[in-house]
A and B are shown apart, each in its own frame.
Chain A
Amino acid sequence: MEIFSFDQTEANQQKFQVREHLLDNLKKRFSLHGYQQIRTSTFEPYELYSNQIGTIPQASMIKVIDPSGKVLVLRPDATIPVTKEVAGKYDSFTGHIRYFYVLDVFRQSFYGNGGKERTQAGVECFGEKSAAIDAEVIALAIQTLQDIGATHFKIEIGHANFFKQLLAEIALPEEAMEQLKATIQAKNIADIGPLLESFAVDPSLVEKVSQIPFLYGHPKEVMERAQNVLVNEKMRAELNSLWDVYEMLCTYGVGEHIVFDLGLINHMNYYSDIIFQGFVEQVARPVLMGGRYDRLAEQFGEAIPAIGFASDVDALLAAAANDRAIARPADITVVYETSKLTQALALTSRLRDEGGYRTIAVEAKERTPVYSKHIIQLCAKENNWISGDTVKSFTAEEDIKHFLSHMNGQ
């Protein structure tokens, strides 16, 4: 009889295992921090999203029509339905709720490459607004990146309102304002001045707006430079609130991963305070995005402050690309000759249920595939324990326990 290792390394299969492993770890991580998993419906009423001005462009949603003519969309974002669920469940919410989700989100096209589906794993923390909560959520985001083995990564922190305050001082037609935002987002310093000058904006304001793209980098330096662009006390307060979060993140010991980007814009208009996104070296897109959205629940009749983030699971996978050590499908293979069938099945079942070992029983053939490093061979004449180069014969089932305890000790 020949035993050969059945190598289950078909690329897709392997990819799937790595992905599931990552998701398991994410779920474990989120629940360790007190978050409970929820799911929302894949189909949502079109109005749920179309009423949220400035979130998901209507043309990018995937719509279906139900028999009554009602338009539904495939969930293009998870935060809105999760918030709706929380707001709908409670009257005058005062508690503290932590939810996490692993859900697919759907758009006509992500990143313009035709992909219609992406898996997001995220958390939403409802009920309290404080620098401590903000820092805790961002620290959790960092933890998920450390969990995948990333060392070289950055979390960019900005504020959803900071430069909008500045823009509020400038009277621009809507179209020009959008163009200005896009220019700021691209840190396109060369085009900001000419754009504003063409609308005869006060030169001191032009100077301040032109500074925004430079408000990027080490939090301390950004804080200093940002003093020059403040136009009111609200901006100062917002800036200081970011600093409070940063100081707390330093206490978490993750300050080195933080950069401030006061020109950061998130396309989801529901963000009201701190916003952030995470980048890992060698991955071209943000691997996670999030922020505080204190006013979103008001749309569903409740005032509930909240902060959350969502990781793009496939981007995380790309970031964890070196981590390809895949477990084999089983811990133990029981190879039996026909006469030992009864014993083999009983043993297999005990190994699974009592020992918790992933076990597969296979009948000995001319060539017998095995799925694990450890093999228990039950032949008419003798029984063997095979593990790598070690082959030990045994008589009583008790001996297996000995081998296994040795194996666990490894």
Chain B
Amino acid sequence: MIEKTDAEELEPLLWGIARPALTWALHFIFVYAALSATCAERAVVSYTTAAIAIGVATVVALVVAGWRLFRGNRTEFHIAARWTTVISLVAIVFSASPVLLAPACG
């Protein structure tokens, strides 16, 4: 029969593994969409607007992905969650960096 304790213990950890990576994915899509909106033929928004939006989205993404980074003990799944978070945080910063450093579409 189902021991709910196992599932109850593991489910937050699984979410802890998936959440940072999902946040990176959403952030990446947002950055790509914002760049497409400003750099393509239609030029829906200005580059400055896109850069500001990406900056704000990056802060939000870092908070959402990094939430609970230092919590939990040393089980394998806690390690997995922590390292997914660390890798995702680096990836989010990497995704945002070209936009925040470059002055225009180029």
A and B interact physically: no
